[in-house]
Homo-oligomer: A and B are copies of this chain.
Amino acid sequence: MITDPEALSRSIIEGHRRAIARAISKIENNDPDTRIILDTVYKHVGSTHRIGITGPPGVGKSTITSQMIKAFRKEGKKVGIIAVDPSSPFTGGAILGDRIRMQDAFTDPDVFIRSMATRGSLGGLARQAGEAADVLAASGKDIVILETVGVGQVELDIMDAADTIIVLTVPDMGDVIQGMKAGLMEIGDIFVVNKADLEGAERTKTDLQFVLELKGQSGDRKQNVILVDARKGQGMDILLKEIKEHRRFLEDQGLFEAKRRKRKIQRVKVLIGEHLDREFWNEKRVELLNSLVDDRSPYEIAEKILK
């Protein structure tokens, strides 16, 4: 077992599964080695296409992901998947089960699937998912799929690490707009109505298109809506074509690099924020805070501590 972070990094770059798995575990545990590993692999992340998949629970994200893996593998592409579940470790169980079953289906050495769940604080999860994507990119994967469960802020933060974001829904999900809350309409590059065999699929597509047009283009490109029946694999060819067109669009407009740059700046800011917090809250200041919590307002207390 390789424990030296430099050796581990080299092993990642050579594409060894166990090295990748170990590095992601280190990222999850905020192991100090993480820094050395990321510094080394960062030079090798290349131009891997990072695809985000998100949407409300129950819309078939795992099924779509499985189909995408198959489709990309047919083209000879190496694929990495990070499935992030920001829910609690407890409720995360079911998802992990799905993952393991999914992994079983892919004994293919050029497919790497990994679940990441919250360990205590949610704060670092988006950063950790982004770092895991870097590791997979450096290991030579052509495609990295970031899949999230749910529609909250952490999920949106995780999607920041993707070049192309696919937002999933199903026909007549109560009210499409309801299901599409929390900024999903804004972040999607491609919208997929899954379970297209269900009644109302066409209408959901039309509704979505209408809403997207109504709000105007939020992204840089027209956001298309696609009907897919992931279970049967129907519509997957169109989805793959859309994904590729979106990447081409990003490259043509210089946005592929611009997004990476913006993402990196954001990552530096998060790291510095975490550092400033750690540095600031020494034992003395924590004590001071505890002693000041009386009937003063939080602003007054903050000011006193800052002085």
A38 proximity list for chain B (CB < 8 A): 297-299
Interface residue A150 (Cβ < 8 Å from any Cβ of B):
yes
Bound complex: CA of A150 vs CA of B153, how far in Å?
Answer: 10
Q: Which of A11-19, A139-147, A191-199, A288-296 contacts B (4 or more CB under 8 A)?
A: A288-296
Q: Is A300 an interface residue (CB 8 A)?
A: yes
User: Given the interface contacts A151-B150, A152-B154, A181-B150, does A175 sit within 8 Å of B58 by beta carbon?
Assistant: yes
- Cross-chain contact B94 with A177 (CB below 8 angstroms): yes
Shortest Cβ gap from A189 to chain B (Å): 16
Query: Does A241 lie at the interface of the complex (its beta carbon under 8 Å from any beta carbon of B)?
Result: no
A101 at the binding interface (Cβ < 8 Å) = no
Interface residues of A (CB under 8 A from B): 35, 38-39, 42-43, 57-58, 86-88, 90-91, 94, 122, 149-155, 174-175, 177-183, 185-186, 215, 261, 264-265, 267-269, 271-273, 275-277, 280-281, 289-290, 292-293, 295-302, 305-306
Question: Can you give 21 contacting A-B residue pairs, CB < 8 Å?
Answer: A35-B299, A39-B299, A42-B295, A42-B296, A57-B178, A86-B153, A88-B183, A88-B186, A90-B215, A94-B177, A150-B182, A152-B153, A152-B182, A153-B154, A261-B293, A265-B293, A268-B292, A272-B305, A273-B277, A275-B306, A276-B280
